[in-house]
Structure 1
Amino acid sequence: MNYKKRYYASFCKENKHVTGWYDIQSLSHTNNVPLEKELHALTDEEWEKREPIGFGVVDGKLVKMEQAIDRVHRAETLLHEARSYVHNNFILLGEVPTQDWIDYQKTLIAIVNGADAPVPTAPSGK
């Protein structure tokens, strides 16, 4: 198998934790290495900074897992704020929320439930 980069990380799709580090050039064969499309390619700098535990792949980037936890916590906080905003500015006034606000909340819910998506910016106004 031909890999385009030298360094890779494998990671769990559910919890995003890195499950393996691969220096392709140092291997005599790649029989036990996942397919390249299932791996995250690393820069030389990322390879040098790697540690046995504590890393994950989130939004296509190698991160310390505290950052990933912070991302989910941020999405939870924004979801709470969005629900309050929609309730106060639409529901209590007998209006239907705009599609932007519905989509925003759905994206935040997906992130809280483990989706690998960037935390969106709230829609402006009504």
Structure 2
Amino acid sequence: MAGRKGKKKTGSLWSFLAFIAVIALWAVPAIGPGVIAVLSAFVVLYGLFQAPTWCCAPTRKNEFCRNNASGILLGCHIRQHKWQKLKMAFKEQAPAKALRRMLGNVNGVAASLSAVAGTVSASAATVTLLAK
């Protein structure tokens, strides 16, 4: 039983370790921007679709769901919540509301910051790659 918990914990931390590696790779001039762009893209995808966060989909009582979810864009085990969170990303005022809910806990903040920083890093690496 202890082996599974340790494996799951390591699996949930690999993106944050990759994020630290991306930051470290920017300081190494021998590493090309292509490698940094690919690693940054993995960090972004993990933050959007796999990082452990709360669901935060609206419930019938106009509160937010506190079930565990995978990623910023996906909901919990309830099928309707998966679609609600995806719809919230594209509605007019829903992204701001979803962002406030997501930043209410440490996991959401870590996933959001790594996704944003990964996006900036991937963009900068792509521009550097195209400029050469």
Q: Which has the larger radius of gyration?
A: 1
* Structure richer in strand, relative to its length: 1
**Fold similarity call, TM over 0.5:** no
TM-score range, shorter chain: 0.3 to 0.5
TM score, norm. by length of structure 1: 0.33
* Structure richer in helix, relative to its length: 2
TM score, norm. by length of structure 2: 0.32
